[in-house]
Amino acid sequence: MRNCPATVARCRILFRSFLIFSAVICQLAFAKAQQNNANEELLVLPGEVGRSGGRLAVSLRGEPKTLNPIIAADARSREVIGVMQADLVHINRATQLTEPALAKSWKISPDGLTYTLVLRKGLKFSDGQPMDADDVLFSFRVYLDENTHAPQRDLLIVGGKPISVRKIDAQTVVFQMAEPYGAGERLFDGMAILPRHLLEKPFQEGKLGQIGSLSAAANQWAGLGPFRLKEYVAGQRLVLERNPYYWKSDSKGNRLPHLDELVFLFVPNADAQVLKFQSGETDMISQLGAENFSVLSRQQNGYTVTDAGPGLEYNFLFFNLNDVGEKAPADLQRKQKWFHEVKFRQAVAAATDREAIVRLVYQGRGAAIWGLVTPGNKRWGDANLSHPPRSLERARTLLKEVGFSWSTGPNGESILQDSDGKPVEFSILTSSTNADRAKMAALLQDDLKQLGMRVQVVPLEFRSLLDRVTQTKEYDTCIMGIASYDADPNSDINVWLSSGGTHLWNPSQPHPATPWEAEIDHLIEEQMSARTFDQRKKLYDRAQEILAEHQPMIFLASPDILAGAKNSVGNFHPAVLEPYVLWNVEQLYLKSGRENATR
């Protein structure tokens, strides 16, 4: 084309108008984007601002089985689901208090029966679909559905009736309870909000349980958590990628999470986890045992291991106080006569060497406990609970008071016998796969030998043990441990209530077998509906004191929470509540430009 001045001028005008046009478009688009951002209400997290990018690898002890919160029964699945889903109100694992999550605020009515939650605006699932009150309604409908048998259902029954949910508008939801519930807002922690657009049809067809398998395509599942599914290789690993629609940001306004990818490697056991961490193949490790902690802390090259202090796990010995009836074998009936004697139990408690347990089993990284509430629980410990030191003298006095006496055996050892002259012998059941509790049993065996009792330690495979303790009730005593998942007493309610399934010494009673169990029931039920923290604490303290007096469970020790991370991982703050190191996964980041975790 010839450079004709007219054409050139026209070109210039065209070009300029094009520039102006595109500038206007850009402004509009930008404004729209701003508007989008303005429409979104992000939760701003305080704390260190991190670098964006990178891949973090952690190991899982075993494989997750499903991504579906409704059928997830095992701990590994729950760990993975935890980083892919979000809840309305969340318990901050560091402070152990509730804080807003998907709901930006809530109001509790004066009578404590109605909770009104207001959702954030502009929330989107990980596949880009918007989320609103309808999803909340759907989720709770699924959880409460009687034919689905979701494990969450039992948690949503307050005062004997399931809670009811209704929506006021697209951002506001109202929950109605039959009775006031002291720990009300904590109920919502862990209740994942499910995507109605993906799950409503399967739910109506009754096929909800089949959705959410790990090998399904990534676009068939969505959640509100910081990560979404990218890749799954059976038996080996699960790779998650950043959720671009996540609703949290750091204090500088950068959308979280910082990490590009989160990889879960499946390893069969704790020792394999330690190996992978030591060789640098994983970046973080949690639920470390005390011995592995020592091994790792000896040469901390490139990583640091941390002792986060006492956790919420409590280990205890309990007696078979079930009413076994006339048909039970004669020696079990005889042993139960001893077990039912409260001074016998107190004597066993007095002979227990808790300090040795903490030192030999946990290498000092733990705490002796005399009650269900461990030192890791910041608010609910009873300061007035007595912590009597070990005293064989006191044990012997107690035993003498109820008619026990000592004789000498053929090899010169002393044998305790009851008032009928029968030697005191019983067995302690323990799970064969838990090395710590097996050690505790061995220590107790030796302690009680000094009182003249002959104790056999019987390790049983875990399910056989559960069968004996909860079904056939054919056992003498047993050592078990329970890790509370929340600091609030309601998380252990089935241990306290005599009708509870984990009231291990005599589970699922139709009505309380003893007056003190009845009193505990009464106290626990009252504190469930009490409104203020002080009221609840007073009642709970009294319950703890009654338990300490009657000793159906002899509390032994609680391990510290031990974890470790590479020095290149930022914002690593292990907490004592589950999930110990991934609770702030959206804030974790990799420092100093290292993209991968390599040796």
Partner 1 sequence: MIRYLLSRMAHALLLVIGVSLLAFLFTTLAPGNYFDEMRLNPQIAPETLSALRAHYQLDRPLPIRYVSWVNSVLHGQMGFSFAYNSPVAPLLLVRAKNTLLLTITATLLAWAIALPLGVWSAERLGRFPDHVISWSTAILLVIPDLALALGLLVLTVRTGWFPTGGMASVDFESLSSLNKIRDLAMHMTLPVAALVLSALPLLVRHVRASVADVLHAPFLLAAEGHGIPRRTLLYRYALPAAANPLLSLFGFSIGALLSGSLLIEVVMSWPGLGPFLLEAILARDIYVVIGGVLFSTIFLATGNLLADMLLYWVDPRIRAESASR
Partner 2 sequence: MSRWRKVAPWLLVLAVLHGIVVCAGFFAPYDPIEQDRKNPYLPPMRLHFVDTHKHLHLRPFVYAFTLRPGSFDQYMEDTSHPLPLKFFVAGDRYRLLGLLPARLHLFGADNERIYLLGSDAFGRDQLSRLLFGGQVSLLAGLLGAGFTLLIGWCIGAAAGYYGGWRDDLLMRVAELFLALPWLYLLFAIRAFLPLAVNPLQAFFLIVAVIAAVGWARPARLVRGIVLSAKERDFVRAARGFGASDVYLLRRHILPETSSVLLTQTAILIPQYVLAEMTLSFLGLGVPEPVPSWGNLLSNLQQYSVLVSYWWMYLPALIMVPFFLGYLGLASALQESPGAYKIERRSLGSLA
Hey, what amino acid is at 51? R
Query: Rounded to whole angstroms, how far apart are CA atoms 235 and 416?
Result: 53
| Residues in contact with partner 1, shown as a per-residue x/- string from 38 to 67 under the rule CB under 8 A | -----------------x-x----xx-xx-
Instruction: Name the DSSP class of 219.
Output: G
Does residue 419 interact with partner 1 by CB under 8 A?
no
d(CA 195, CA 370): 45
Of 62, 364, 375, 481, the one binding partner 2 (CB under 8 A) is: 364
Contact residue for partner 1 among 151, 206, 302, 403 (CB under 8 A) = 151
Residue 128: name the closest of 197, 38, 28 by CA. Answer: 197
Nearer to partner 2, 335 or 542 (CB): 335
Considering the complex, what minimum distance in angstroms separates the CB of residue 476 from partner 2? 7
Residue 119's H or E segment, with its range, is strand 114-119
Considering only residues 92 to 131 of the shown chain, the ones binding partner 2 according to CB under 8 A are none
- The single residue among 283, 307, 353, 517 that binds partner 2, judged by CB under 8 A, is 353
Q: Is 191 left (phi over 0), alpha (psi -120 to 50) or beta?
A: beta
User: Contact with partner 2 (CB under 8 A): which of 39, 215, 301, 411?
Assistant: 411
Distance in angstroms (rounded) separating the CA atoms of residues 536 and 540 = 6
468 touches partner 1 by CB under 8 A: yes
Nearer to partner 2, 62 or 100 (CB): 62
Parallel, antiparallel or unpaired: strands 425-431 and 477-483: parallel
By CB under 8 A, name the one of 154, 169, 401, 549 that touches partner 1.
154
Structure tokens, 2: 């010839």
DSSP run (H or E) holding 458: strand 454-460
> Which CB atom, from 271 or from 525, has the smaller least distance to partner 2?
271
360 makes contact with partner 2 (CB under 8 A): yes
How far is residue 402's CA from residue 393's CA, in Å, rounded to a whole number?
15
Least CB distance from residue 234 to partner 1, whole Å?
Answer: 5
Beta strands in 197-268 (DSSP E): 227-233, 237-242, 248-250, 261-267
The set of residues, in sequence order, having a beta carbon less than 8 Å from that of 77 and lying 6+ positions away, is 64, 65, 66, 67
For residue 510, say if its preceding peptide bond is cis, omega within 30 degrees of 0.
no
Count of residues engaged in binding partner 1, rule: CB under 8 A: 63
For the segment 469-498, give every residue that binds partner 1 (CB under 8 A): 470-472, 482, 485, 491-495
210 part of the interface to partner 1, by CB under 8 A:
yes
Compute the C-alpha angle 501/152/563, nearest 5°: 85
In a 13 Å sphere around the CA of 321, the CA atoms on its Cβ side amount to 25
CA-closest candidate to residue 165, choices 123, 210, 103: 103
Q: Pick out residues in 450-509 that bind partner 2 (CB under 8 A).
A: 456-461, 464, 467-468, 474-476
Reference 63, options 208, 213, 194, 207; nearest CA is 213
- Quick one: which of 580, 565, 589 has its CA closest to 285? 565
Is 501 an interacting residue with respect to partner 1 (CB under 8 A)? yes
Kindly state whether residue 439 participates in binding partner 2, applying the rule CB under 8 A. yes
**x-or-dash string of contact with partner 2, 329-348, rule CB under 8 A:** x-x-----------------
Binding partner of residue 265 among partner 1, partner 2, none, CB cut-off 5 to 8 Å per kind: partner 1
Residues found near partner 1 in the complex (CB under 8 A): 55, 57, 62-63, 65-66, 68, 71, 73-74, 149, 151-155, 209-210, 213, 215, 231, 233-237, 263, 265-269, 272, 275-276, 278-279, 281, 433, 461-464, 466-468, 470-472, 482, 485, 491-495, 500-502, 508, 596-597, 599
Residues found near partner 2 in the complex (CB under 8 A): 271, 274-275, 289, 291-292, 294-295, 329, 331, 353, 356, 359-360, 363-364, 411-412, 427, 429, 431-433, 435, 438-439, 441-443, 445-446, 456-461, 464, 467-468, 474-476
